[in-house]
Structure 1
Amino acid sequence: MPRFSSYDSTELAYHVQGSGPPLVCLPGGPARASSYLGDLGGLSRERTLLMLDLRGSGESAVPEDPTSYRCERLLDDVEAFRLHLGLDRMELLAHSAAGNLAALYAARHPDRLDRLVLVTPGLRAVGLETLGFTEAVAARSTQWWYAEAKAAMDAWQEAAARGAGPAEVEPLRTGAAPFAYGRWDERARAHAEAEEWERPDAAAAGFYDAFAPQTSAVRAALAGLDAPVLVVAGALDPAPTPEAAHALAALLPRAEVVVQDATSHFPWLDDPSRFVKTVLTFLGEERPRC
């Protein structure tokens, strides 16, 4: 398992998959081990995926300073990772909560990015609301799992709003998991169940603890970002909805949005071939197959 020492000597691990040009990958969760990304639907067949385990998760070490789990503090880990890899500029992919981390990195280090792929990204760093959440949840009402998952979703939102701890929140989050998948089948259930051991409480709670980004400054910096940006949204995803993904793209001068039909928060699981084609086309690496 390759490792490197970050800015404060915390040992961070990363996973290498595939072959081809490098693509640095940041996992969401927040703080979920990068193993949940798999090979991103087969993207590793055309790219070398460099998947970072954020501090305190996966194979990475627990830091001495727990405040270093916070999203904006993790920027220095991403920069240390780039330097370790010897990349002057990089193509970066970030999923879910890590979309906040990637947005902050792009604002601080715009000259270090060639291209940026944001897959169903978080929106807190830019101060956007979760547009259309209620409608997206209601749109799944014909599913057999809806009543139980909706009750868990409502209880999760209420518990999170009052700052409840992981012991209360995590079972509710698990109960609401069907909304994150286009199909609630055996594969989706196994993927969701793995989160229990892939997402450590301390790192997950610390990611947003006292996170208060200066969103106006972040937006101003992103307005000058020259790197092309792809935002991949799932048509069924309640957070972010396609509407929210378009609002995010509107803040970026060279952004495009692709909405994958019949997919939710993990589009590479719901429709891997479409996901891989979308990302490779954006990165300019799609190749004809015989």
Structure 2
Amino acid sequence: MTQGNETSPPAEPAPPGVNPDVPHSARIYDYWLGGKDNFAADRQVGDAMVKAIPELRAMAAENRKFVHRAARDLVTEQGLRQFLDIGTGIPTRPNLHEIAQRLAPETRVVYVDNDPIVLVHARALMVSSEQGRSEYIAADIRRPASILSEKALLETLDLTQPVGLTLIAILMLLSDQDDPWALVAELRDAMPSGSVLAITHPTADFNPEAVGEAVASARSAGMTLVARTKDEVARFFGDWELLSPGIVPTSAWRPDAPVDNPEATYYWAGVARKP
């Protein structure tokens, strides 16, 4: 991941609905990626987490690389031409639709997030190819039915045809009390046969102490952040068939080049297909 700019202020003032004094995961992620759409509260929490895990910026970069590889493979190998990306975050080019539409210009993508600052940038940056379509809806993963019934989604995606459902570094923001497994199951059940689910999720499996410190930093700022085990991540896929190589560290999922130490990313990644 590229280094964040630890001193530069946001390029724009906070848009309506955004409290710059309350840290938000999308803006912290933007900070780690070197973006400017973050505030002092976001950088403070981001720095505390990086202090616990110095490799966090690289881990965030690996998540982006995973999205690119997964999109490429789902278009070329699975033949997918439509995606539903929930927990989009602040746009970072190339975005999922840009990767997919380079290979299949007719691809349609719907992005979902609940942060007003993401909405501001999504409308400006997520411009589709002429043949395809890209839409953004403001909604919360905690209410899957509201996402699936959204007019923009129904006008963009054909839910009778296979969909690539991507949940990248989003399920960590749901506590066990939210029952994220039931929420994901509701989304899975709405997808037709041939659909594919891609997930990345942080874990303490490789370094419990460091990850525990990072989680504590986030929680002390009022954020929900949950690291989960490989078995807990596997539950999100239900009875869908995991594609090779299964659930592995993010950098080890179909890498473009050999990876020396994939467990250094502290994230699990997996892709599964609905029978």
TM-score where L is the length of structure 2: 0.39
Q: Higher relative CO (CA 8 A, sep ≥ 6), structure 1 or 2?
A: 1
TM-score where L is the length of structure 1: 0.38
